[in-house]
Chain A
Amino acid sequence: MFQIEFDNQPDLVVGIDLGTTNSLVAWMNLTQPEVIPGEDGDKLVPSIVSLTEAGELIVGNAARQELIDHPERSIYSVKRLMGRGIEDVRDELKLFPFRIAEGSENVIRVALGDQTFTPPEISAFILRQLKKNAETALDARVTKAVITVPAYFNDAQRQATRDAGRLAGLEVLRLVNEPTAAALAYGLDKRKEGVVAVYDLGGGTFDVSILKLQEGIFEVLATNGDTHLGGDDIDNRLMQIAIEDIQAEWGEGIAHSGEAIQTLRQDVIRVKEALSFAPSVNLEFAWHGKKYQRTITRELFDGLIQDIVDRTLGPCRDCMKDAGVTPEQIDEVVLVGGSTRIPLVRSAVEVLFRARPHTELNPDEVVALGAAVQAGILAGTVENQLLLDVTPLSLGIEMYGGVASKIIHRNSTIPASAGETFTTGVDRQTNVLIHVVQGERELAKDCRSLARFDLKGIDPMPAGFARIEVRFLIDANGILSVTARDARTGKEQTVEVKPSYGLTDEQVEAMIEASIDNAEADYKAAQLSGIRIEADGIMAATEKAMRNKAWLTLTDEERAEVTAAMNRLKVVYCINDHHLIHAQVDILNQATHKLAENMMNTAVQGALQGTKVE
């Protein structure tokens, strides 16, 4: 009960944009969101992770050079692998030098040197770097975060992102959709009203969302996108022509050399970026004493990427249709992602939505800024702003005959729920298997498999007699949970979840444990110091309360209980076990519940008496 005292202190919650190409961390500096730069002064932390020869993990700009020198010990664009199965990423592997390790059937494992990691672990390295950057800059411990995800991310991809946060020692208070975050960043100081379209072309994903803004409520009407479309694809087009040219000119290819490919990739990115501001740019590539050079005009570039830009327009039209708005009804357009600097992209967006896009905020930073605003909402420092987001994909269950029956439709405001009643098909059947899928297709096999739930412990009865009510709940993070109860007995049923892709909770826990065993003792230390601060607070408050007159309102047993709980907490306080201290804090908290209430009542009575006007 005394925890109320801590509740009143605003939590420090950071907002994180965990991007395909770059990642950023931001916070609410009083009333303004602000990106926190790293030690090198750069606000963008390249999403590159490298394992040095010495076995040290490095992230960001520091890993950039490693990526060129030792591509076999480096990884970038890992976001493309988050929450995906090996089958999903076959195509990506042709263009991205991911080294998929053995045993990747259920969860992909990527090799860095002689070690292997899952995508959430690699993302956790990036998150840990951002956490460290924030802690250094703000001189405070950071344990809570809002992390953004592409709006079109499915359940598995969201869970993988949340797992990454946990692995990095962050409590992920909320996953926010990137386009929605961008809208929050734009709408914060200007009390905007109206319909806004957010066009977000990131490094590896494309999202579009349409929102209605009214009196501080940001209501997402519809969202659409493609998790397989982004700036990387644009780079690949330039890479392709350069690789072909080089093959023809030099008589030998460079595709076999990871080092050469990485160097070329950085060269074409420079060209791509420069082309947004110049009508033509020279692409130069030097390799082992040989030189390749070609002038890339904007015209040539536009021709190369026209179909990529066109591919974003379909989702935009569908999104407007789902939102029930015409282009004329769209008041403003917000651009997000570095690729929206490309003039062809801008003009395509302008033509489609018939509105001039906003570019006041840096498209690389706007998502992180919005995440910080959402962090402020959760921490209680930003008031009167509320985000009502939707689920991007329909949730369905597989019926007899393989048809996916939709139970929560796409673009439903979340949290959203649906109930279904299941029964048995065979006499004395004691379990029912439920297959949950996500997607818009008619057949379950064409949708994305989320999980199989086994309802166990059904009383043996004739077929069709059992009534198992299953409740599907999509929370504000867009993540599904399932509960079940027997309608006849009211008994809660066990729901055993087998995620189709991704890590189980136990695996994540094991990884957290393992990371403590390894070089991450500071995580444990942080947990310990956190709980000790909490213990200090509650002990001080209890001691103070014991001197309050409310102490005498308790019965002897109640007082004894408080004293005993206090003593036990003092005993475990010095033991290096966070769980033990936590448990004891909870017990003392329970024991002082009534005391705190009585104190509050006395205080209220006192205040009332003091102000009574009679």
Chain B
Amino acid sequence: MTCWNCGAAEPARFCVSCKALQPPVPEYFAFFELAPQLALDEKDLQQRFYGLSRKLHPDLFSRKSPAENEHALEATAVLNDAYRTLRDPIARALYVLKLEGLDVGEQSTKDVPPELLEEVFELNMALEEARMGDADALAQLPGFRVRFEAMRAETDLAVAQVSTAWDATHAKQALTDLRGHLNRRKYITNLIDKTNVPDRV
């Protein structure tokens, strides 16, 4: 890599030689100068985010050349996208899975986790009845919601545990477990959303 502006070799975020802002590193952890990790100090991340914003934001480049301005826009877009992803534990976990080549499949929402089968069946019944105007069924929905939210909280706990495990060992099994928990979580979240439907209709 050479600096786009002066051609100097191996430029950092800012070229060592001409101080011009360089194109952003696309990998989110590297952008924050962090190693990939699942458990993250969010306060520290925020400080890094503010610090980098103070260096990279397009507001600070409006008097620079159009080319450098463009780089500031690109860099800040990556910064914001990275911060949005890494500060949220779930989005961060999904991102780590992607980095490690273990993408969460699209089909995951359709395959019902077996232990949820009965609950899902009951929820669908209640939803159907609520749609037909059954007041009792409608009254059941908040109850479903509470149960599913409890399940999601449980899953979040499991995600946190397996996260710590992966950070310590980088064991492949931890990531596979993580993917399982995330799929289950996504499924539960969809169920929670479903319990809202009658309100909206």
Residue of B nearest to A593 (CB): B6
A417 to B28, CA, bound (A): 13
**Surface stretch bound by A, among B71-79, B137-145, B156-164:** B71-79
A7 to B53, CA, bound (A): 22
Residue of B nearest to A412 (CB): B84
Task: For A414, list chain B residues within 8 Å (CB).
Answer: 80
Task: For B58, list chain A residues within 8 Å (CB).
Answer: 415, 475-476
Q: Is B63 part of the contact surface with A, judged by Cβ < 8 Å?
A: yes
Task: For B63, list chain A residues within 8 Å (CB).
Answer: 7, 11, 378-380
In the A-B complex, the 6 residue pairs with the closest CB atoms: A415-B77, A417-B77, A413-B80, A378-B62, A415-B76, A476-B58
Q: Is A416 part of the contact surface with B, judged by Cβ < 8 Å?
A: yes
Q: Would you list which residues of chain B between 83 and 106 have a CB under 8 Å from chain A?
A: 83-84
B73 and A217 contact, CB distance less than 8 A:
no
Residue of A nearest to B18 (CB): A597
Q: Is B59 part of the contact surface with A, judged by Cβ < 8 Å?
A: yes
Task: For B54, list chain A residues within 8 Å (CB).
Answer: 217, 386
Q: A386-B53, A388-B53 are in contact. Are A417 and B62 (CB under 8 A)?
A: no
Residue of B nearest to A415 (CB): B77
A476 to B60, CA, bound (A): 12
What per-residue 1/0 map shows which CB atoms of A205-218 lie under 8 Å from chain B?
00000000011010
* Main DSSP-derived SS at the B contact region: helix
Q: Would you list which residues of chain A between 407 and 455 have a CB under 8 Å from chain B?
A: 412-418
Number of A-B residue pairs, CB cutoff 8 Å, is 55
Shortest CB distance A422–B (Å): 16
A379 to B73, CA, bound (A): 17
A418 to B63, CA, bound (A): 27
Task: For B83, list chain A residues within 8 Å (CB).
Answer: 413
Q: Is A387 part of the contact surface with B, judged by Cβ < 8 Å?
A: yes
Q: Is B81 part of the contact surface with A, judged by Cβ < 8 Å?
A: yes
Q: Is B57 part of the contact surface with A, judged by Cβ < 8 Å?
A: yes
A452 to B136, CA, bound (A): 46
B57 and A473 contact, CB distance less than 8 A:
no
Q: Is A198 part of the contact surface with B, judged by Cβ < 8 Å?
A: no
Of the four ranges (under 10, 10 to 19, 20 to 34, 35 or more), the interface on chain B belongs to: 10 to 19
Q: Which of A215, A386, A473 contacts B59 (CB 8 A)?
A: A386
A417 and B81 contact, CB distance less than 8 A:
yes
Task: For A475, list chain B residues within 8 Å (CB).
Answer: 58, 73
B59 and A174 contact, CB distance less than 8 A:
yes
A417 to B84, CA, bound (A): 11
A387 to B59, CA, bound (A): 8
Task: For A11, list chain B residues within 8 Å (CB).
Answer: 63
Q: A377-B59, A378-B62, A415-B76 are in contact. Are A217 and B84 (CB under 8 A)?
A: no
Task: For B62, list chain A residues within 8 Å (CB).
Answer: 173-174, 378-379
Count of chain A residues with a beta carbon within 8 Å of a chain B beta carbon:
25
A378 to B63, CA, bound (A): 7
Q: Which of A173, A217, A374, A418 contacts B53 (CB 8 A)?
A: A217
Q: A388-B53, A476-B73 are in contact. Are A415 and B80 (CB under 8 A)?
A: yes
Shortest CB distance B29–A (Å): 18
Q: Would you list which residues of chain A between 525 and 544 have a CB under 8 Å from chain B?
A: none
Q: Which of A7, A217, A386, A416 contacts B81 (CB 8 A)?
A: A416
A279 to B96, CA, bound (A): 63
Q: Which residues of B contact A (CB under 8 A)?
A: 50, 53-54, 57-60, 62-64, 73, 76-78, 80-81, 83-84
Task: For B80, list chain A residues within 8 Å (CB).
Answer: 412-416
Shortest CB distance A434–B (Å): 19
Task: For B77, list chain A residues within 8 Å (CB).
Answer: 415-417, 473
A128 to B159, CA, bound (A): 58
What per-residue 1/0 map shows which CB atoms of A350-391 lie under 8 Å from chain B?
000000000000000000000000100111100000111000
B53 and A415 contact, CB distance less than 8 A:
no
Residue of B nearest to A3 (CB): B65
What per-residue 1/0 map shows which CB atoms of A184-217 lie under 8 Å from chain B?
0000000000000000000000000000001101
Question: Which residue of B53, B57, B62 has the most chain A CB atoms within 10 A of its CB atom?
Answer: B62
Shortest CB distance B55–A (Å): 10
Q: Which residues of A contact B (CB under 8 A)?
A: 7, 11, 173-174, 214-215, 217, 374, 377-380, 386-388, 412-418, 473, 475-476
A321 to B81, CA, bound (A): 21
B50 and A217 contact, CB distance less than 8 A:
yes
Task: For A412, list chain B residues within 8 Å (CB).
Answer: 80, 84
Task: For B59, list chain A residues within 8 Å (CB).
Answer: 174, 374, 377-378, 386-387, 476
Shortest CB distance A148–B (Å): 15
Task: For A214, list chain B residues within 8 Å (CB).
Answer: 50
Q: Which of B53, B73, B84 contacts A473 (CB 8 A)?
A: B73
What are 13 A-B contacts with C-beta separation under 8 Å? Answer: A7-B64, A217-B50, A378-B63, A386-B57, A412-B80, A413-B80, A414-B80, A416-B80, A416-B81, A416-B84, A418-B81, A476-B59, A476-B76
A476 to B57, CA, bound (A): 9
Shortest CB distance B162–A (Å): 25
A586 to B200, CA, bound (A): 59
Task: For A378, list chain B residues within 8 Å (CB).
Answer: 59, 62-63
Shortest CB distance B25–A (Å): 14
A415 to B52, CA, bound (A): 14
Shortest CB distance B98–A (Å): 13
A257 to B73, CA, bound (A): 52
Task: For B57, list chain A residues within 8 Å (CB).
Answer: 386, 388, 476
Residue of B nearest to A8 (CB): B63
Task: For A379, list chain B residues within 8 Å (CB).
Answer: 62-63
Residue of A nearest to B84 (CB): A412
Task: For A417, list chain B residues within 8 Å (CB).
Answer: 77-78, 81
Residue of A nearest to B46 (CB): A214
Task: For B53, list chain A residues within 8 Å (CB).
Answer: 217, 386, 388
Residue of A nearest to B50 (CB): A217
Shortest CB distance A106–B (Å): 29
A215 to B47, CA, bound (A): 11
A183 to B107, CA, bound (A): 45
Task: For B81, list chain A residues within 8 Å (CB).
Answer: 416-418
Residue of B nearest to A390 (CB): B80
Residue of B nearest to A416 (CB): B80
A379 to B61, CA, bound (A): 10
Residue of A nearest to B61 (CB): A378
Task: For B73, list chain A residues within 8 Å (CB).
Answer: 415, 473, 475-476
A7 to B60, CA, bound (A): 13
Task: For B76, list chain A residues within 8 Å (CB).
Answer: 415, 476
A11 to B62, CA, bound (A): 10
Question: Which residue of B57, B58, B77 has the most chain A CB atoms within 10 A of its CB atom?
Answer: B77
A215 to B57, CA, bound (A): 16
Shortest CB distance A88–B (Å): 24
A415 to B76, CA, bound (A): 6
Residue of A nearest to B76 (CB): A415
Residue of B nearest to A217 (CB): B50
Task: For B84, list chain A residues within 8 Å (CB).
Answer: 412-413, 416
Shortest CB distance A165–B (Å): 15
Shortest CB distance A585–B (Å): 14
